[in-house]
Structure formats: structure tokens, C-alpha cells
Amino acid sequence: MTKKKIEIDGRVIEAKDGEDLLSACLTHGIDVPYFCWHGALGSVGACRQCAVKVYDGPDDKEGRIVMSCMTPVADVERVSVSDPEAVAFRAQVIEWLMVNHPHDCPVCEEAGSCHLQDMTVATGHIDRRYKFTKRTHRNQDLGPLVTHEMNRCIACYRCTRFYRDYAGGRDLDAFGAHDNVYFGRAEDGPLESPFAGNLAEVCPTGVFNDKGWSRDYARKWDMRATPSICPHCSLGCNILVDQRDGRVKRVQNRYHGALNGYFICDRGRYGPLHVVSEHRLRQPLIDGMPASEHDAASAAHAIVAEGAIGIGSPRASLEANYALQRLVGPERFFAGVSDLESNLVRRIVEILRAGPAKIASLHEVEHADAVLVLGENLTGTAPRLALALRQTARGAERELAAQKGVHAFLDPAVRTAGEGRRSPIVLATPLPDALDDLAALSLRLDPQGVAAFGGSVASALGAGGVEEVEEHSEAARVAEILVNAERPLIVAGCALMSAEIIEAAARIVAALGAKARIVLLAPEANSIGLALLGGDGLDSAAALLKRGGAKTAIVLENDLFDRAPRASVERLFAAAKGVVALDSMANETTARAAVALPVAPFTEATGTFVNYEGRAQRFFAAVAPQESAPASWRRLDAFGAGDWHGLDALIGDLIVERPDLVAVADAAPGEDFGMADGKVTRAPRPYTGRTADDRAGQFADAVIPVDQDGPLTFGIKGARGTAVPTPLITSYKTSGLHSANNVTRFLEEVGGPLRGGDPGALLIKPGEASLPDAVSQRGEAGEGLWLIPLHDAFTGGELSRASALLAARRPAPRLLLHPDDAALHGFRDGAAVQVDGKPCAPVVTLDATVPRGTVVISAGSCQPRGPLRRVKVEAAP
Amino acid sequence: MIGFGWLEALLRVGRKLFVKPETQLYPEVKPKLYPRARGRIVLTRDPDGQERCVACNLCATVCPVGCIDLSKAVADDGRWYPEHFRVNFARCIFCGFCEDACPTAAIQLTPDYELSEWRRDALVYEKHDLLISGEGKVRGYRYWSFAGKAIPGKDKGEAEHEAPPVNLKGLLP
């Protein structure tokens, strides 16, 4: 991309050719007020707020007013933002916009981080001269996650542009005309899209807001914000966790150029509030009964001293898993998942390491030009990736528009000029998918069919090596699409827990060569991190205990009953003399364990998650850890795992032992990092009430907590602003600009990486190792119906199910059967059933879209995660 | 050279022996303070007897010593109110910024300045210490009559300067 010099009020900047004037100004720190423009949504020119004056050349003394968001930098030489005529124009526009704005700021959640407030102050509007009445609207109930207060609307259309055009939602639209225009649903009801929570950030004023935050509220300037990583899927979206008085109030998106960009899904926004749920483990348990810390700790020490195996967790940090591995030794360290899953995720790591396909970041996913999805219901398993694919589909449209000379930033014009062209996306999944509406081809196949289809695509591409598979009629066509593409992308994952699907994806990318990119989704936030440490699954753990290789077990932050078939877990509990569970959440494992010790959840500890790309990303303690629930690695340290005074010492040991993971140390600055103003602070200014209760230091609340493990401080003194290293950014505030819209100031270019590089360090380099042959997984024998877990964006895994907010939005669990299968087994619609002899809460729903020979059960409702297997569905007694 | 300026000074001071003294014998004699004098902080109610404070947090924000702490809650009828409201008078400098910042005329300073206590924590006033039953200095003001949010008894379109809610199903342009 060529650069172009333009002069703005005497300052010469280098703008990127092809971007709009407003983006160029904002990324160079020149403030131009705006409303409807958004970094991800482009320009529509709806609000008329970003007027500036442009001059044709050095001789042009008069100039003319243009909307900077609609003006390509290619067309201008000299610009004035501060020209009096342009200033007066903008002042008029904000005055019009404010004519109907209610006198609501004191009772509006947005106030304090409101883009409209910032822009009004920036434009100098202070007095409503219009003496007539304000237009009013009735509100709607938009469900448990999002508030609605339509009076505040300034009709920038960002909400519908995001919800409909960007996220593919159908149930939010603009109604009415002229100054009556209304943004809402046709009737009251929850917003259906799993990305609706982003409306709170997209809306420049307080029409849409986070309902959970509103209920448990503190102003933006009163909450300490901490950079964190979403623990609810393997994408590793960056989030900011806001808390006051030690209570997490809300989660917001944290910009990451390569990953989540401007948006996260509702599971990422509301799921982390499981840390304030009643499902937290607050006190130690002995045999399921509350006990004192002293008794429980000494009982745990005794059990560990007998010789324990360690069972790690895909939701615990890399550091915690390493501490456990170090305590018990690598040969006694196991992954707390089924054997198949642990093999599968390790195989994913092998495939990624082998290359030649590069691992696609979400940013690269958006720029792929042909996509094949094998077996993943992406909107359910990794919603943010589904959102990225919605942008991928628009690639052909963008290309055609570019050929016609339409600038990429003119979003509605691109849609028109693109003539509705779609980049080919092929979905090979068992069930109807939310992405079907933009897929070029949707194939409904049972799990074996998905793997076979992947295999036949690979064969059609000329990949050898595997026994001849049955030719699928569409395989040749899909292979042709992939061959002709310049940047083909293959997406597969562990949703169906089928090793064949992953192998098929690997063969396809191998056949496509270096141009191909791949996304292999692991089940959880740190599954890849756990796989990098190694360790077999639970069946091997139980076998070792049975052989007498060890007597007891330590279970790290893991509800085993949710992650592996019940029989395996029961074998483990039967074989172990005692089980110590360390967890932040109370669950069946902590209830069954001989000793359960509370540990810090991800909001109270510092650690690293490794996402699907192999990107190590550090999350920091949003709330100071309590003495009663220290970070799990500190508990393991006390058992004798190491001699670590802080996290950096632990990471130091980790990278000495595992030189291939040396980049973990580069994921974020260490605990001694400081800037000219001291440590980076979580607290915004003014952070009110600091002396309201100090009572001369008699009360613990008045003492600022100390963060032992991170480079951030809880105090109000410290470094902030654009110079802060990107993994430590706690706020996008700069002088006079308080809303999240101001993130542009922190970017190299709009939609591009953060200035100073996107956070995280890549641990996996494609091509660094050769691919060993696949170990053939034994096929599950037995009879019954193949179990297909039904993943859902609002349900997620063990942690997100504990969030009360998300639970309010969660669909009722379902059990779907094909009518023919149901007839075969004698089930009617609505029949109560049991699965594998266990009663199952959902009743049978007949659904002709379900593949024959399978049963679809909502994930997490009555069957745990586990290998692709058959289950017996019988009538309930 | 020594002049007689000292004599003039002596005379000027000495003349004060014969005028009425300004000094008041506090506490026997209480000074007369005007309603705008800035003393103890109170939270007032609107003419209907409802709490005026909507927990917007502006008083706490503008407070130069940070001695005000409050948290928002929502009543069943949709009004915002402070769940707790705390002022630490040991820190308060009685600058009156909170009163200026308050958009609902809830927080007001009163002429009561006699706040001495033996114990420091007795100077931390909670909401039940601060909330009075009257309107204070500002009479007749109801914030909710101006706000765009609907509450029981004041539907959308019934606030000051508001038009009735738009009928979206209407056919008129």
C-alpha cells in the first residue's frame, strides 16, 4: 500500500492511499468529531459530524467542506480541521443531534464513557437553544443481556449496521422515518444474535447497554480495568475485566488486531461473570463437608505425600499445569480429559508444527477467499470465528467493488457494487448451521460422513497415503474451489471429537501446499497449552493408579465429570486412594474429592493461556487474590512443586525445562516492569471515594491491594495512555476522549495491529517439525446411536454455564432424533428418555434435519464431553 | 531619620478601644449564618418526598478529596437511587463542589458546621445520617420531570418539553 502525504492544519502526515480522511486523521492523533464511522463498520456519511475543509491546491484560498469519512485521502492535498467555517458546521450538526436527546446523563449507564458526551464537549455545544418539544419513543425488552432506551438515539445506524450487516442478525432493524426513526425489534423479545452484547460498545450513546453491568453498576471511571483473556473457547479473545470493590462488574472487548478486533461474542462478554456466581468454591471441603483451611491443607499434604499423580486442566493456566507437572513429574502428569481428546489435541499441535499450512489468525480468516469447514458448528463452539467468517464471505464482494473503483471504506457502496457476490464457504456439518445463509454449499453429513467427505476432498486434491475412500459427489467441486483459491482456509476442530476429521483437514492442507491456511480448534481456552506440556488422558491415569504406580491424585481446576465419560472418571476415583481437588468452582469433582481447596479463578490470578494459534497470552489478576483462594500454582508450590516467590520465577523454570516454550516469557512484560510513571495502573482517574472510608487506615478496604505477580498496580498512580505496552493496556482513554471508540488512537491503522504489536507470543512455528504418522484411533465398538453434541453460543462449557446472566439467555437443553430413528425405537415427540442408563433432562424432539443413526443432545446437559461414541437411548422407566 | 509614624499607628489601634467589638463569644453566642453557608452535607428529597439522589456519581467525581462514596441501585419502579451513600467528614473540606455538580439538587450543604467528634469513624456519615425529609434550599425541583426515562406516574412523553411517544405503526409521514 502506497503512502500519501497530506497537510492537515500545517502538519504533514503520511496517510495510507485508499483509506478515508477521517481514519487518517484519527490514527495520527488529529481529533475530528464523528458518530457513524466505526473502524470495523466503515463509513456511511449518516451523521455529518466529521466535516472538515479541504483545499484543492496551494492556490485554493476558499476550500470546501466535505465529510472526512467519505473522502478518500487520494483526493486531497491540504485539509483544515480547525477552519472556522468547518467548526461552525460541526457545532450546528451536534446541536441538531442534541435537539431530541433527553436530559438523562445522570441516570444513563453510558455517561462517563459516552462517545456522544465526548463529541458534544469537543464540539463546544453547551446550551439547547431549541425551545420546542423532544421526540420520545417507547422502549423494548430486548432480553436479559441488553438494555434499550430509545430516547437517547441519534440515528447513526451503527447498531443495525453491526447487527445486520456485520453479524448477520435478522431481528434488529430500523423502523419509521425522518426524525422518528426507531431501532429495535418488530416486537419485544431477546435479541437472537450471540453478538448482541457488542451493541453496548457499538452504540455511541446509551440506547443499548450491558444489562448485567447496569444491575451491578459502577461508573467507568470508578472501575479498575485489567487486561485478560476470555476462558470460554480456544480462540483466546482479549477482554478487559472491570471491577470495583473486588467485585467484577462487567467485561468489555479489548482490541487485538490479529484476533478479536473490535468485537467479542456474548459468551465472552457475559460468561466470565461466573466468577461472581454462587457456584464458586469459597471454602475448603473435606469429603464434601466444609472444613477449616488448616485441616484441609494438612489433609491434602498427607494425600499428596503418599505419591500422587497430577491431573491437569484445559481451563487452568499454563503455569498452573506446569507447576503440577513439576510436582508429580512428567510421567505421572495427565490431562484431565478423555484419552482420545488428549491424543487429538496433541495431534493438532503436531499438525500445526509440521506445516506447511500457516495457522490463520482471525484477521487472516477474514481475508481468506475460500473456506471449508469440517464438522464444526462454529457459531456454537467458537462464535467469534463464525463472525470472522461472515466477513470472509464478503471477500468476493469487496474484490468486485474494488475492480469498479469503489473504495473499501464505503461500506454500503461496496455492498451495492459487490452485487451480492460471496466468497465460497463450504460447510460440512451434521446439523443446520447459522452460517448456512452465506455458505456456497452446505452439506449435512453424520460425523463419519464429515470425515469421509474431508478424505475424499483430499483424495481429489491428489493427497495420497490413506486407503481409498468412497468418492463423495461434491468432493471434486469443493477440491476445485480450494485449488483455484489464492488463500484457501480449512477449519476443523474437536466439536465432534473425531480424529478422522482432523486427519482429513491435515491431508487437505498438505495437498494444497504453502498457500493454504488452517484453523484447528481445540475444545478449551488452554487445551493447546496443556497439550504442549504433554500427558495422556484419564484412562491412562486410572490405569497407572491401578498398576500401583501411584496412590492418590491431584485434580487441578477441572470438573472431570464434565470432560470425560463418567465410566472413566469413576474408574479413576475407584483406583485413587485419595483425591485432592483444587478449584475455583464448586462442582461434582470437588464434592467427590477427599479434599477440595479453593483457588483463584482467572480473574484473581495471573497466568497464560495458549490459543488455537499457539499464541501464549497473559491474563492478569483483575481482583487481588484472596488469602483463602490463592492462585493454584501457589498451592502446588506449597506442596513442594518448586520454590517460586512469584510467577516470573515459575516461568523462568518452565522455559529452562522446555526451551521450545521460551516465548511464554515474551507474552507480556514481567512483574518488575515499570515505566517513567511507575507501574501501569488499572485504575482510571478520578476513581472516586478513595478517602470515604479510610478511617485512618483501620480498615483493610482502604489499603490498596498489592499485585504480586503482574506488572500492573491497583493504585491510581502509575502509567497510562498510548505508550503502555500492548499486553498491558487497561484503557483507551486519552485526554478528553473516554469511550472505547478511542481505540483508534492505539492502532497503527484502522483495523490493523495495535501500535507496538499485537499482544501475545506465538509458540508454534509451522514447519519446525515433521509430521509423524497418525496413530490410528480405535473405532468405538458397541451399539446405539452416535452422539452428536449440540453446541450453543450461550451455553459453552463448564465455566460459562455457571454465569447467571448467560444462563438467563441459554436455550433449554434439547435432545433431537430423526423421526425414522425415533419410530424405530418407539419414541414419540416429547417422550422422556434415559441415555446410557442415566436419566436425561430434555425430552425427545423429532427433527428431520438430524442425520440418521445419530442422537443430538445439548452439550453439557446430560452427557459429558468425550470421544465420538455411541450411546443407548431408551425410554425412561 | 526617626519620624512619628509610630505615633500614628498607636493612635489608629488605640481608637479601636472605643468601638463595638466584632468578636462573638462562641459557643455561648451562635453566629448567624445564611442558608448558603457551606457546612454539613445533607441529601434532600423532592416535593413528593422521594429521594432526589439518582446515584449519578458526579458529586463523588468532583470531590477534590475523594470523600464521597456511593453505589447505584435500581428501585422496582425504575428509579435509580444510591444503595449506600457515604461521606467522610474527617476529609471533607466543605468546598461545595458536590452541590454545584449535582444535577438533581439532591446533595446540599447546610449552615450546620458543628461536627466535632471524639472518634474519627464517627465522622463517616452513612445514607441514613445524610438523608433529610425536606427539599432543602431548592424548592419544587423534580429531576424525574425532566429526565427521558419513564417511571411510574411519568410515562414517556410526559416530562417537560416532551412530545408524546412516536406511534411507529402510524401511516402519517
Q: Which residue carries 487520494 as its cell? A: A74
**Torsion, CA A408, CA A414, CA A415, CA A419, rounded to 10:** -130
Question: Per-residue pLDDT tens for A711-726?
Answer: 999 988 899 989 999 9
Are residues A437 and A542 both part of a single domain?
no
Q: Residue A706: which CATH number?
A: 3.40.50.740
The whole-number pLDDT of residue A697 equals 54
The whole-number pLDDT of residue A626 equals 87
Question: Per-residue pLDDT tens for A2-21?
Answer: 888 999 999 999 998 889 99
Query: Is A693 in contact with B156 (Cβ distance < 8 A)?
Result: no
Q: Which residue carries 484457501 as its cell? A: A488
Report whether pLDDT(B172) > 80.
no
Q: Which residue carries 453479524 as its cell? A: A167
Q: Is B139 part of a structural domain of the chain?
A: yes
Show the domain range for B45.
41-145
Q: Is A704 part of a structural domain of the chain?
A: yes
**CB pairs < 8 Å spanning A and B:** 126
Q: Are A854 and A785 within 8 A, CB to CB?
A: yes
Q: Is B160 part of a structural domain of the chain?
A: no
Question: Which residue on chain B is closest to A178 by alpha carbon?
Answer: B173
Q: What is the mean pLDDT of residues A192-203?
A: 96
Residues in contact with A250: Cβ distance below 8 Å, sequence separation at least 6, in sequence order: A210, A212, A213, A216, A223, A242, A269, A273
Question: Per-residue pLDDT tens for B107-128?
Answer: 999 999 999 999 888 999 999 9
Q: What is the mean pLDDT of residues A498-518?
A: 92
E-strand ranges in A703-817 read: 712-713, 761-762, 785-790, 815-817
* B68 interaction partners in chain A (CB closer than 8 Å): 688-689, 692
Q: Is B104 part of a structural domain of the chain?
A: yes
Distance CA A538, CA B119 (A): 61
Residues in contact with A716: Cβ distance below 8 Å, sequence separation at least 6, in sequence order: A681, A683, A685, A686, A687, A690
Lowest average pLDDT, out of A76-85, A465-474, A555-564, B24-33, goes to A465-474
Task: Point out the residue among A107, A137, A691 whose CB comes nearest to the CB of B166.
Answer: A137
Query: Is A149 in contact with B80 (Cβ distance < 8 A)?
Result: no
Q: Is A257 part of a structural domain of the chain?
A: no
Lowest average pLDDT, out of A222-226, A265-269, A702-706, goes to A702-706
The whole-number pLDDT of residue A782 equals 72
Lowest average pLDDT, out of A32-46, A146-160, A597-611, A758-772, goes to A758-772
Distance CA A665, CA A652 (A): 8
Question: Per-residue pLDDT tens for A485-506?
Answer: 999 999 999 999 999 999 999 9
Query: Is A103 in contact with B147 (Cβ distance < 8 A)?
Result: yes
Are residues A298 and A364 both part of a single domain?
no
Q: Are A181 and B166 within 8 A, CB to CB?
A: no
* A702 interaction partners in chain B (CB closer than 8 Å): none
Query: Is B166 in contact with A152 (Cβ distance < 8 A)?
Result: no
B54, B56, B154, B158, best to mutate vs chain A, most A CBs in 10 Å: B56
* A180 interaction partners in chain B (CB closer than 8 Å): 166, 168
Q: Is A407 helix (H, G, I), strand (E, B) or coil?
A: coil
Query: Is A151 in contact with B163 (Cβ distance < 8 A)?
Result: no
Q: Is A848 part of a structural domain of the chain?
A: yes
* B63 interaction partners in chain A (CB closer than 8 Å): 688
The whole-number pLDDT of residue A18 equals 87
Report whether pLDDT(A781) > 80.
no
Q: Is A373 part of a structural domain of the chain?
A: yes
Distance CA A708, CA A624 (A): 9
Q: Is A472 part of a structural domain of the chain?
A: yes
Task: Point out the residue among A104, A688, A695 whose CB comes nearest to the CB of B60.
Answer: A688
Cα A394–chain centre separation: 22
Q: Which three cell numbers stand for residue A265?
A: 461474542
Task: Point out the residue among A112, A133, A137 whose CB comes nearest to the CB of B161.
Answer: A133
Query: Is A688 in contact with B63 (Cβ distance < 8 A)?
Result: yes
Query: Is B143 in contact with A106 (Cβ distance < 8 A)?
Result: yes
Q: Residue A33: which CATH number?
A: 3.10.20.740
Query: Is B168 in contact with A105 (Cβ distance < 8 A)?
Result: no
| Number of domains chain B is built from | 1
Q: What band does A57 get if pLDDT is binned at 50, 70 and 90?
A: confident
Q: Give the domain-ending residue among A98, A114, A145.
A: A98
Q: Count of residues for chain A? A: 877
Burial of A827 (0-12, 13-18, 19+ CB in 10 A): buried
B62, B149, B171, best to mutate vs chain A, most A CBs in 10 Å: B149
* B149 interaction partners in chain A (CB closer than 8 Å): 102, 104, 107, 149, 151
The whole-number pLDDT of residue A17 equals 86
Q: Is B168 part of a structural domain of the chain?
A: no
Q: Is A269 part of a structural domain of the chain?
A: no
Q: Are A223 and A259 within 8 A, CB to CB?
A: no
Are residues A711 and A618 both part of a single domain?
yes
Q: Which residue carries 501501569 as its cell? A: A680
**Residue A844 φ/ψ region, left for φ over 0, alpha for ψ in the -120 to 50 degree band, beta for the rest:** beta
Q: What band does A464 get if pLDDT is binned at 50, 70 and 90?
A: low
* Pairing outcome for strands A615-619 and A607-610: antiparallel
Q: Residue B94: which CATH number?
A: 3.30.70.3270
Distance CA A383, CA A235 (A): 9
* A177 interaction partners in chain B (CB closer than 8 Å): 173
Q: What is the mean pLDDT of residues A793-812?
A: 93
Chain B residues whose C-beta sits inside 8 Å of any chain A C-beta:
54, 56-58, 60-61, 63, 65-72, 74, 80, 86-88, 90-91, 103-104, 120-121, 124, 143, 146-150, 156-157, 159, 161-166, 168, 173
Report whether pLDDT(B171) > 80.
no
Question: Which residue on chain B is closest to A128 by alpha carbon?
Answer: B161
Question: Per-residue pLDDT tens for A818-840?
Answer: 999 999 988 888 888 999 888 88
Q: Give the domain-ending residue among A98, A132, A161.
A: A98
Q: Is A255 part of a structural domain of the chain?
A: no
Query: Is A177 in contact with B54 (Cβ distance < 8 A)?
Result: no
Q: Is B29 part of a structural domain of the chain?
A: no
* Pairing outcome for strands B68-74 and B41-43: unpaired
Are residues A507 and A586 both part of a single domain?
no
Q: Is B114 part of a structural domain of the chain?
A: yes
Are residues A501 and A599 both part of a single domain?
no
| Closest C-alpha to A313, from A324, A327, A304 | A324
Residues in contact with A539: Cβ distance below 8 Å, sequence separation at least 6, in sequence order: A338, A339, A568, A571
Are residues A635 and A507 both part of a single domain?
no
Distance CA B67, CA B94 (A): 11
The whole-number pLDDT of residue A706 equals 85
Query: Is A151 in contact with B156 (Cβ distance < 8 A)?
Result: yes
Q: Residue A807: which CATH number?
A: 2.40.40.20
Report whether pLDDT(A416) > 60.
yes
Q: Is B93 part of a structural domain of the chain?
A: yes
Task: Point out the residue among B56, B69, B103 whose CB comes nearest to the CB of A693.
Answer: B69
| Number of domains chain A is built from | 4
Q: Give the domain-ending residue among A690, A723, A746.
A: A746
Q: What band does A778 get if pLDDT is binned at 50, 70 and 90?
A: low
β-partners of residue A426 are A372, A441
* B56 interaction partners in chain A (CB closer than 8 Å): 105-107, 111
Q: What is the mean pLDDT of residues A733-751?
A: 92
Q: Residue A362: which CATH number?
A: 3.40.228.10
Distance CA A401, CA A398 (A): 5
Q: How far is B55 from chain A (nearest CA, A)?
A: 8
Mark the binding-site residues of B for [4Fe-4S] cluster, compressed into ranges. 53, 56, 59, 63, 92, 95, 98, 102
Q: Is B2 part of a structural domain of the chain?
A: no
Are residues A419 and A501 both part of a single domain?
yes
Are residues A494 and A559 both part of a single domain?
no
**Torsion, CA A565, CA A567, CA A572, CA A574, rounded to 10:** 150
Distance CA B136, CA B110 (A): 8
Q: How far is A123 from chain B (nearest CA, A)?
A: 21
Question: Per-residue pLDDT tens for B76-89?
Answer: 999 999 999 999 99
* B54 interaction partners in chain A (CB closer than 8 Å): 106-107
Are residues A328 and A349 both part of a single domain?
no
Question: Per-residue pLDDT tens for A845-869?
Answer: 999 999 999 999 999 888 899 899 8
Q: Are A845 and A856 within 8 A, CB to CB?
A: no
Task: Point out the residue among B56, B86, B166 whose CB comes nearest to the CB of A693.
Answer: B86
B46, B52, B53, B71, best to mutate vs chain A, most A CBs in 10 Å: B71
The whole-number pLDDT of residue A544 equals 94
Query: Is B166 in contact with A176 (Cβ distance < 8 A)?
Result: yes
The one-letter amino acid at A36: C
Q: Is A681 part of a structural domain of the chain?
A: yes
Question: Which residue on chain A is closest to B123 by alpha carbon?
Answer: A695
A133 touches chain B (CB under 8 A): yes
Query: Is B163 in contact with A137 (Cβ distance < 8 A)?
Result: no
Name which residue leads in pLDDT, B5 or A90: A90
The whole-number pLDDT of residue A641 equals 86
* A152 interaction partners in chain B (CB closer than 8 Å): 148
Are residues A539 and A458 both part of a single domain?
no
Q: What angle do CA A782, A786, A790 make, to 5 degrees?
A: 150
**Cis upstream peptide for B164 (omega within 30°):** no
Show the domain range for A820.
785-875
The whole-number pLDDT of residue A779 equals 56
Q: Is A736 helix (H, G, I), strand (E, B) or coil?
A: coil
A777 touches chain B (CB under 8 A): no
- Which chain A residues in 671-730 lie under 8 Å from chain B, judged by CB atoms? 686-696, 698
Query: Is A136 in contact with B157 (Cβ distance < 8 A)?
Result: yes
Q: Are A151 and A140 within 8 A, CB to CB?
A: no
Report whether pLDDT(A457) > 80.
yes
Are residues A662 and A562 both part of a single domain?
yes
Percent of chain B at pLDDT exceeding 90: 76
* A134 interaction partners in chain B (CB closer than 8 Å): 148, 161-163
* A181 interaction partners in chain B (CB closer than 8 Å): none
* Pairing outcome for strands A370-374 and A552-556: unpaired
Question: Per-residue pLDDT tens for A236-245?
Answer: 999 999 999 8
Report whether pLDDT(A320) > 80.
yes
Query: Is B57 in contact with A214 (Cβ distance < 8 A)?
Result: no
Average of per-residue pLDDT values in chain A:
92
Question: Which residue on chain A is closest to B53 by alpha carbon?
Answer: A106
Report whether pLDDT(A783) > 90.
no
Are residues A533 and A590 both part of a single domain?
yes
